[in-house]
Amino acid sequence: MRDNEFSLPQGTIAFSHALPAHIYTLVTGGRPPAADWLQKASRGKILAIDHGLDLCRAMNRTPDFLLGDGDSAAPDAWAWALAQGVPCERFNVKKDLTDTQLALAKIKEASADAFLLLTGAFGGRFDHAMSTLFSCAFSGLPMILADDKEACFFLHDGESLSFRAKQKPQAISLFALGSECRGLSIEGVEWPLENASLCPEEPYAVSNELAEGSSAFHVRLQAGTLAVYLYWQ
């Protein structure tokens, strides 16, 4: 695999830049990914974010670090982690930032050269999902949000990516985050775009699909912040 690629069970993402050397898998508290998916997809050190500890424990995966306020994990989960010798950082429940935001800040402080796979981001509360989406998109850290059913990648000014599918996604959608995306192009899909604009208030680029006979698509962005979302049934 090339230094600009990251492989998921559903396919391989090729970014326009080399990926950082240090990879972390963050497990948070939304819908748990399928056990076999996590086994294949996870890379590097595993950081459990509060309720994500329950998933790690259920899969008999001891995380390398545990962080959170302890308000959503099972009552005995933190005790289990401590008994396993897992380094833990616990916060007061009454705090300004979410557990995921604190985890992103901790990783950014520890290593400016990090790439993240965050799983457990989908399928839970909508407000949590929106907070996670925007926090990740504007964290300054390259990352992927993914599980066996959904994935989201981010592009910023002048970046591009390609996705080579092992499993054909049912939907490919593009969303402008924060402000207008300009110079947006996508090819290899049923409804391509060339040098288009996409605004947050008019998200028309949803429910696209791979073109007939195509197993890959390519997205380019001149300016803005773009979320590339994939869905598998």
> Residue 181 is part of a domain; what is its CATH number?
2.60.120.320
206 in a domain, yes or no? yes
129 in a domain, yes or no? yes
Asked whether residue 51 falls in the same domain as residue 94, the answer is: yes
Asked whether residue 222 falls in the same domain as residue 166, the answer is: yes
Alpha-carbon distance 202 to 184, whole Å?
14
Instruction: Please report the pLDDT score of residue 146 as a whole number.
Output: 97
Mean pLDDT of the chain: 91
> Residue 35 is part of a domain; what is its CATH number?
3.40.50.10240
15 in a domain, yes or no? no
Quickly state the pLDDT bin for 233 (edges 50, 70, 90): confident
pTM: 0.92
Which one, of 177, 173, 122, lies nearest residue 155 by Cα? 177
Q: Are 15 and 161 in contact (CB under 8 A)?
A: yes
**Interval 139-148: pLDDT, tens:** 999 999 999 9
Residue-range definition of the domain harbouring residue 138: 20-147
Quickly state the pLDDT bin for 106 (edges 50, 70, 90): confident
> Which residues, in sequence order, are CB contacts of 44 under 8 Å at separation 6+?
22, 23, 24, 25
Quickly state the pLDDT bin for 88 (edges 50, 70, 90): confident
What integer is the mean pLDDT of 111-116? 86
The yes-or-no verdict on residue 1 having pLDDT over 70 is: no
Q: Is 38 strand, coil or helix?
A: helix
| DSSP string of 55-92, one letter each residue | HHHHTT---SEEEE-SSSS-TTHHHHHHHTT--EEE--
Please state the domain count of the chain: 2
Asked whether residue 96 falls in the same domain as residue 51, the answer is: yes
The yes-or-no verdict on residue 228 having pLDDT over 70 is: yes
How far apart, in Å, are the Cα atoms of 110 and each of 92, 103, 105, 161? 21, 11, 9, 27
What integer is the mean pLDDT of 40-60? 88
What integer is the mean pLDDT of 200-219? 97
Instruction: Please report the pLDDT score of residue 35 as a whole number.
Output: 87
Which residue has 């457990």 as its token pair? Answer: 120
Which one, of 167, 24, 173, 185, lies nearest residue 107 by Cα? 24
Asked whether residue 78 falls in the same domain as residue 142, the answer is: yes
Q: Tell me the pairing of strands 45-49 and 22-27.
A: parallel
Asked whether residue 60 falls in the same domain as residue 137, the answer is: yes
Asked whether residue 128 falls in the same domain as residue 142, the answer is: yes
**Interval 121-179: pLDDT, tens:** 898 788 888 999 999 999 999 999 999 999 999 999 999 999 999 999 999 999 999 99
- Where does residue 65 rank: exposed (0-12), middle (13-18), buried (19+ CB within 10 A)? buried
The yes-or-no verdict on residue 99 having pLDDT over 90 is: no
